[in-house]
Each structure stands twice: as C-alpha cells, then as structure tokens.
Amino acid sequence: MKEISVTSSFLVFDTLEELPNDIQHLMNQAVAIRKKAYAPYSQFRVGTALLLDNGEIVLGSNQENAAYPSGLCAERVAIFHAGSVYPEAKILKMAITAASDTNQTQAPIPPCGSCRQSIAEYEIKQDTPIEIYFMGEIGVIYQSASLKNLLPFMFDKKFL
C-alpha cells in the first residue's frame, strides 16, 4: 500500500473591489441574475455568469421544481445554454454567487458535485481550463484556476 497526496490551491480575494475589473463585472452579473432565481422550496438562490472566448457573457440562475430533482442549478443552466447557443465557444471564466433568503451566506459556496461534473465535461471538451470564482452573498471570493483544481479525480469519457 502507498499513499498519494493531492493538493489544490486557490487565490482568495477579500472584496469584490480586489478582483480584476473583468471579473468584478462578471461577478456583478452573477449577483444580478442570482436575484432572479426561482427558489421557492430551498430559498437558496444561486447566480452564475460565464465569459466565453467570443466575448459573450452567458447567465444562469437556479430553477427549482416541486418534483425534486427536476430543477437545475445555476451553473448547469448557464453551461447548457452556452453549449446550445454558442457550441464552438470556449468558456474562459465562471463567476458563481449564492445567497439564502433565511440567513446571510458569508463563506464562498462552490459548485455542487453535479455541476462540477458538468463543468468538467466542458473543460475536457474544450481542452482549456475554466477559471472559477465563487463567493457567498458577502465575504471573500475564491478563485480556482480550473475545474480540475476543484475536482482532481474527474470522471470523463476516457473511463467509458
């Protein structure tokens, strides 16, 4: 038996103002779309903004459904929209923000497992890392250089 060690590293920004201007703009877009989320059951709203290599910004917010788990997370709404409308474009950067209607989220909230798998599919397909920035409603912002950094043991088509 042997042990392996896997390390992930993140940049931490203390405020939105500390982010590069293009990421501030992207995160502000994510905050705006987060407020439009349809979250009557969880009361947990998530917004995502994607920057594509063609300059387009694609937005998504979580969309819930009484027939769990029929809803979709914000990240997948945005990714699937980008994939259907701009199938040749690469996703360069992703900004994610989450807020609860019942308490203030202060810790950075990363994508869930299903979203990580969906992001992985596109990162592998485009063979280009996707920078991911995530935050709560307030507080610090984490930046991961890629999805692979967030999910080092990705499942992809090579295993099929």
DSSP string over 88-117: TPPEEEEEEEEEESSS---S-----HHHHH
Q: Which residues pair with 98 in a beta bridge?
A: 46
The answer to whether 17 is annotated as binding is no
Catalytic residue among 3, 75, 123, 131: 75
- Measured from the Cβ of residue 80, the count of other Cβ atoms closer than 10 Å reads 15
149 is in an annotated binding site: no
**112 assigned binding-site residue:** yes
Whether 62 has a binding-site annotation, put simply, is yes
75 is catalytic: yes
Check whether 89 is labelled as a binding-site residue. Answer: no
| DSSP-based three-state secondary structure for 27 | helix
| Residue 66 labeled ligand binder | yes
Annotated binding-site ranges for substrate: 62-68
Residues with catalytic roles? 75
Annotated binding-site ranges for Zn(2+): 73, 112, 115
